Amino acid sequence: MNPTREDLIELGYLKPGDTYCKIPKRLRKVFLTESDLEYADRHGLTRQEMRDFKEEMMIEDEIIRDHRILAAQEKKDHFNSPQAHYFAW
C-alpha cells in the first residue's frame, strides 16, 4: 500500500508544486506470535499471508497516528490564530 500524492502533501513530505519526493523508508519488523499462528491455522492462511496482514495493520496504525498528529497540529494552529481570540472576525 503506497501513499498517494495527496497523502504525501498532507503529511508534509511533498509541497503542492513538487514533482518528485524521496519517501523515508520505514522498516517494520513483523513477528508472528503463537496466537497469530493459531489464527492463521484456523483461517487457512500461510505464514507469509499472516505476516503481510500484520504489516498492513501496522501501516494502517501509522496512517491513523499521522492523521491524529496532523489534526492536533491544525487544532493548535487554529486556537493560536487571531481569529480564535477576536470574535468580530
| Domain-wise residue ranges, the chain | 5-85
State the first-to-last Cα distance of the chain, in angstroms, to the nearest integer: 43
Question: Is the separation of the CB atoms in 34 and 42 below 8 Å?
Answer: no
* Structure confidence at residue 61 (pLDDT): 87
- Please check the confidence at residue 83 and state whether its pLDDT lies above 90: no
Residue 75 pLDDT:
79
| C-alpha cell read off for 22 | 524521496
Pairwise pLDDT comparison (21 vs 46), residue with the higher score: 46
As a whole number of angstroms, the distance between CA 12 and CA 69 comes to 12
For the record, the C-alpha cell of 14 comes out as 511533498
Whether residue 31 contacts residue 24, with contact meaning beta carbons closer than 8 Å, is answered with no
The residue among 34, 32, 35, 11 whose CA lies nearest residue 23 is: 11
What is the reported pLDDT for 34? 93
